[in-house]
Amino acid sequence: MFRMMILMFGLLAATGGFPPASAASAAKARVHVIVIDKMQYGPMPTGVRAGDIIEWTNKDILEHSATARDGRFDVDLKPGASGRITATAGTLAFFCKFHPTMTATVVVE
């Protein structure tokens, strides 16, 4: 009986009929865009949840990167290019490996 209930929950959650919090965030992953221009990262998104997408868009004339301090991601961004990661929970501190004065932090819940 218990197994049946779990199965039912799982099925409902997967089809979106019953949205517990964890499944909902996976189903409704939001995209948070960070714009890079003139040697700086634009405003940091807020309310980012694990499973959401963080996207960097490089509008600068220079090549940049979004490189995690802890090494968990390293996104190269040529001028005009975009790159994305799936956010994992925690405080994501990142910098540009070419321009170390460019630093930022996003909090992922």
Partner 1 sequence: MNKSLFALVLTLGLGSLAGAHAATPAPALNDAQIAHIAYTAGVIDITAAKQALQKSHNKDVRAFAQEMARDHAAVNDQALALVKKLGVTPQDNPTSKSLASGAAAEQKKLAALSGSAYDKAYVANEVAFHKTVNGALSGTLIPSAQNAELKSLLETGLKLFQSHQMHAEHLAQSLK
Site residues, partner 1 (CB under 8 A): 38-40, 61-63, 79, 96, 98-102
Taking the least distance from each CB to partner 1, the nearer of 10 and 79 is 79
Nearer to partner 1, 66 or 108 (CB): 66
Give the shortest CB-38-to-partner 1 separation in angstroms: 5
Which amino acid, 71? G
- In angstroms, give the least distance from the CB of 78 to partner 1: 10
Give all strands (DSSP E) within 38-102, no chain letters: 40-41, 53-58, 64-68, 74-77, 82-86, 90-95
CB of 55: closest distance to partner 1 in angstroms?
22
Q: Which is nearer to partner 1, 71 or 100 (CB)?
A: 100
For residue 76, the minimal CB distance to partner 1 (Å) is 12
φ/ψ (deg, to 5) at 73? -155, 155
CA distance readout (Å), 96 to 20, 26, 65, 91, 102: 37, 29, 5, 17, 6
55: nearest Cα among 79, 81, 26: 81
Which residue, 73 or 95, has its beta carbon nearer to partner 1? 95
